[in-house]
Structure formats: C-alpha cells, structure tokens
C-alpha cells in the first residue's frame, strides 16, 4: 500500500564514506522532494525535482546531490558525510507545484555517521 517508499529505513556509514539513499513512488507525481530533519527541528528542504528539472535550495551544501533517473525514483547522494549530517532524511512527492498541492512523505531514512 505504501506509495512513497524509502530505502533503507536505517543507514549507518563512516565519516567521509559516500552514501546513497533511495526513494520510489507509485503515485506518478511530478514533483519529488528531499528533506533533512534533525531532532526537534522542522524538516529542511534540500532540493526538489519538478519532472526532470532539478531545483536546489540556496543553502544546501555541495556535499548533497540528487538524481532522478525516471518519474518513479529519486536518489540522495551524500558525497562525504560528516557528523553533522546525521539526521532523518525524508522523501516526499506532490502531484504538481503551485496552489493546494500537499506533499506525501515516505517513512524516512535515519542516517547515522560513525
């Protein structure tokens, strides 16, 4: 039944070792988002794809990259994870951008850095 699926649920990586988080959706939505959420803080938008068009937030570090090879899949790549990157990473989708387009979230991937 899950419509936005994130893998893995938990990811442990070493300091500086590249890691990739995965998101897939069965909703056929045009927009896919990646958020970072730290404890007791608001989800922070990193970037989003509107179809194939990549939109980076101005304050997203270069260490974070994304790929969307097709409508269904989107990946978050962290090139050299630092201790400060430990967080929950949330993928979300919306049918379109603009008015009244609620976002649907996956379960998230909790990333730990050793």
Partner 1 sequence: RKEVEQDPGPFNVPEGATVAFNCTYSNSASQSFFWYRQDCRKEPKLLMSVYSSGNEDGRFTAQLNRASQYISLLIRDSKLSDSATYLCVVDGGFKTIFGAGTRLFVKA
User: Which of the stretches 14-22, 61-69, 73-81, 100-108 binds partner 1 when contact is defined by CB under 8 A?
Assistant: 100-108
Please identify, using beta-carbon distances, which residue of 13 and 107 lies nearer to partner 1. Answer: 107
**Structure tokens that stand for 88 in this block:** 């929950």
Q: Which residues contact 78 (CB under 8 A, 6 or more apart)?
A: 18, 19, 20, 21, 63, 64, 65, 85, 111
Q: Are 4 and 105 in contact (CB under 8 A)?
A: yes
Q: Does 56 bind partner 1 (CB under 8 A)?
A: no
Q: Are 60 and 66 in contact (CB under 8 A)?
A: no
**1-30 residues near partner 1, rule: CB under 8 A:** none
**79-98 residues near partner 1, rule: CB under 8 A:** 88, 90, 97-98
Among 14, 20, 28, 41, binds partner 1 (CB under 8 A): 41
């Amino acid at each position: 039944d899950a419509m936005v699926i994130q893998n893995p649920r938990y990811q442990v990586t070493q300091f500086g070792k590249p890691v990739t988080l995965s998101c897939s959706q069965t909703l056929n939505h045009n927009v896919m988002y990646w958020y970072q959420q730290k404890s007791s803080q608001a989800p922070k938008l990193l970037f989003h794809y509107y179809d194939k068009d990549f939109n980076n937030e101005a304050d997203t570090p270069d260490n974070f990259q994304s790929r969307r090879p097709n409508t269904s899949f989107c990946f978050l790549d962290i090139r050299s994870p630092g201790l400060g990157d430990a967080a929950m990473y949330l993928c979300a989708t919306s049918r379109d951008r603009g008015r009244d387009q609620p976002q649907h979230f996956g379960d998230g991937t909790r990333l730990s850095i050793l």
